[in-house]
Amino acid sequence: MNTAGPAPLVRNAIQWGGALLLALLLTLGLGMATATAATDHDGKTVASIQQTEEEESPYSFQGSMRDSDREPIVGVEVTVTDESGFSGTGTTDESGEWSVGVPTPGTYTVTLNVDSLPDGITLRDPAHESREFEIATTAQQGVLFAFGDPPSAQPTTDPGESETGSETPTGDDSETETAAEQPRGQGFMAALTQRAINGLFFGLLLALGAIGITLIYGTTGVSNFAHGELLTFGGIVFYATTTLFSLPIVAAIAITLVACTVFGWLHDFALFKPLRKRRVGMVQLLIVTIGLSIALRYFFQFLIGGGTQQLSINRGAAIAIGPANISTSVLIAAGISVIVLAGVAYFLTRTRMGKATRAVSDNASLASASGINVDSVIRTVWIVAGFLTGLAGLLYTYFIGGAIRWDTGFSIMLLLFAAVTLGGLGSAFGALVGALFIGLVTEISTLWLPADIRYAVALGILILVLLFRPQGILGRKERVG
């Protein structure tokens, strides 16, 4: 099998791409610095995108209100409160949509102001006037209110009512108690369904980044602790192209993916390939990745600041899927993730370069002896890893509510490594399985435990699994000695 390196023309094009990427980084830095430094005569920041107080927070509740004729309901107030004293209010706009930003993850009470409803509009279930919701991994929680007549309307007069319509005691409280218990059970199942769907979507995004890690580890033996910064880079470029430069969404996605692909290649060309030629040991390479992670992280902080940057994009309203409320942006992110993961599976199992990648991962020396250009394969792996992880960063900004921080990738880096280790080091399919497992456990655990320790739960389960199966779920046992 012969997989020769790229022709000189292609190699020059890639090198020019690296130079253009550096120019892009400088341009982004100047653009962000200009946007931050520009102030009006009162000293207030001048921004091209006017943001409300709710938009400044990455966490929010949102929804859409429509009547029985599917017409938007305008001017309805929704209040969000918590036990700490926070209170926020949102009002439906001309399209019937509303949004209320909250400061931190946690449990909140969402209350509909029934007095603000137009005449003739009533809640289908009055008990849903005020409900509790929790924000955990997803920073954007959809809340829906149903309007109209109840599904099974009762007659105006029944044996339990007088002619005036007032209720009379029936002397039987068992039915009342049963009716009170049923919503609680249904509420738990609805919450469980919501968490499971969120966990599945979160796991798909983790899988994009985890597969990049496992491909790099399988072909080079390097545990890249700077991999989270590839994810952050994708989110930052997407933020800059959509918000700072106001490019169309399609152009922004294309530029982001190209930049991340070149950024992945630049990792290998400028750093890891020279280190391989010098035969640097694995421990030293590990230290290099840690240092690179720190350097990139604080470079990103220099570019966009230490706060949370909100993207000026429409993330879509929430829609009801059974008992769960899912935003359209999350559905789009999940659909793209599935398509790309299927493409990666096809690449690894059906294409010439994919088979060469698996051969190098299995035995690099034997692959080289059989005619495979190992350096070309490793370069391709870095390019693919940059593309996948950059796409994960792009979609993750959708998933967590259209916001990006300088340390976004670092905050979930341990989850990426947990997915890789749990599924089996060097196994792309194992990384997918591990990522889905981590995503589900992370979300579902918030039903019983505080959201602040949801990541610790996933890592704790990882430790337990490795105690009994050190090679991971789909990993292979290796002979030692």
Whole-angstrom Cα distance, residue 64 to residue 60?
14
Dihedral pair phi/psi, residue 251, rounded to 5°: -65, -40
Whole-angstrom Cα distance, residue 307 to residue 323?
34
Contact 343, 388 (CB under 8 A): no
Looking at the domain assignment, is residue 373 inside a domain?
A: yes
Q: Is the pLDDT of residue 107 over 90?
A: no
Dihedral pair phi/psi, residue 467, rounded to 5°: -65, -35
* Per-residue model confidence (pLDDT) at position 5: 45
pLDDT tens across 145-156, in order?
A: 878 766 544 444
Residues 21 and 126 in one domain: no
Q: How confident is the model at residue 454 (pLDDT cuts 50, 70, 90)?
A: confident
Q: Which two tokens stand for residue 231?
A: 């994810």
pLDDT tens across 272-307, in order?
A: 999 999 988 989 999 999 999 999 999 999 998 888
Looking at the domain assignment, is residue 387 inside a domain?
A: yes
pLDDT tens across 185-197, in order?
A: 556 787 888 888 8
Residues 254 and 130 in one domain: no
Residues 136 and 220 in one domain: no
**Residue 367: CA count within 13 A, CB half-sphere:** 22
Q: Report the pLDDT averaged over residues 258-278.
A: 94
Residues 376 and 238 in one domain: yes
The percent of residues above 90 in pLDDT, for the chain, comes to 33
Looking at the domain assignment, is residue 173 inside a domain?
A: no
Model confidence pTM above 0.85: no
pLDDT tens across 317-335, in order?
A: 677 777 777 777 788 888 9
Looking at the domain assignment, is residue 475 inside a domain?
A: no
Structural domain ending residue among the three candidates 149, 180, 210? 149
Look up the CATH number of the domain holding residue 80: 2.60.40.10
Whole-angstrom Cα distance, residue 189 to residue 185?
6
pLDDT tens across 344-402, in order?
A: 999 999 999 999 999 998 888 899 999 999 999 999 999 999 999 999 999 988 766 67
Q: Domain count for the chain, please give it.
A: 2
Residues 306 and 363 in one domain: yes
* Per-residue model confidence (pLDDT) at position 170: 40
Residues 131 and 268 in one domain: no
Residues 106 and 73 in one domain: yes
Q: Is the pLDDT of residue 3 over 50?
A: no
Q: Judging by DSSP bridges, how do beta strands 318-321 and 77-81 pair with one another? A: unpaired
Q: Is the pLDDT of residue 44 over 90?
A: no
Domain ranges, residue 116: 54-149
Looking at the domain assignment, is residue 172 inside a domain?
A: no
Structural domain ending residue among the three candidates 149, 173, 204? 149
The b-or-e profile of 352-374 (16+ CB within 10 A means b, else e) is: ebbbbbbbbbeebeebeeeebbb
Q: How many residues does the chain have?
A: 481
Looking at the domain assignment, is residue 1 inside a domain?
A: no
Q: How confident is the model at residue 174 (pLDDT cuts 50, 70, 90)?
A: very low
How far is CA 403 from its chain centroid? Answer: 10
Looking at the domain assignment, is residue 49 inside a domain?
A: no
Strand residues in 143-207 grouped as ranges (E): none
Q: Is the pLDDT of residue 469 over 90?
A: no
Q: Judging by DSSP bridges, how do beta strands 59-64 and 140-142 pair with one another? A: parallel
Q: Provide CB contacts within 8 A for 464, sequence distance 6+.
A: none
pLDDT tens across 230-253, in order?
A: 999 999 999 999 888 889 989 999
Structural domain ending residue among the three candidates 89, 119, 149? 149
Whole-angstrom Cα distance, residue 97 to residue 82?
22
Residues 140 and 252 in one domain: no
Whole-angstrom Cα distance, residue 167 to residue 162?
6
Residues 236 and 290 in one domain: yes
Residues 259 and 112 in one domain: no
* Per-residue model confidence (pLDDT) at position 84: 80
Residues 143 and 216 in one domain: no
Q: Is the pLDDT of residue 31 over 80?
A: no
Q: Is the pLDDT of residue 263 over 90?
A: yes
Amino acid in position 239: Y
Name the most confidently modeled range: 8-17, 325-334, 471-480. 325-334
Q: Which residues pair with 78 in a beta bridge?
A: 90, 112
The b-or-e profile of 422-458 (16+ CB within 10 A means b, else e) is: bbbbbbbbbbbbbbbbbbbbbbbbbeeeebeebbebb
Residues 274 and 138 in one domain: no
- Give Cα separations from 328 to 18, 62, 336, 401 (angstroms): 35, 12, 12, 11
Look up the CATH number of the domain holding residue 398: 1.10.3470
Whole-angstrom Cα distance, residue 128 to residue 112?
8
Contact 228, 409 (CB under 8 A): yes
pLDDT tens across 118-147, in order?
A: 888 888 778 778 888 877 656 667 787 878
- 137 compared with 449, residue with greater pLDDT: 449
Looking at the domain assignment, is residue 37 inside a domain?
A: no
* Per-residue model confidence (pLDDT) at position 29: 55
Q: How confident is the model at residue 80 (pLDDT cuts 50, 70, 90)?
A: very high
- Say how many C-beta atoms besides its own lie within 10 A of residue 169's C-beta: 7
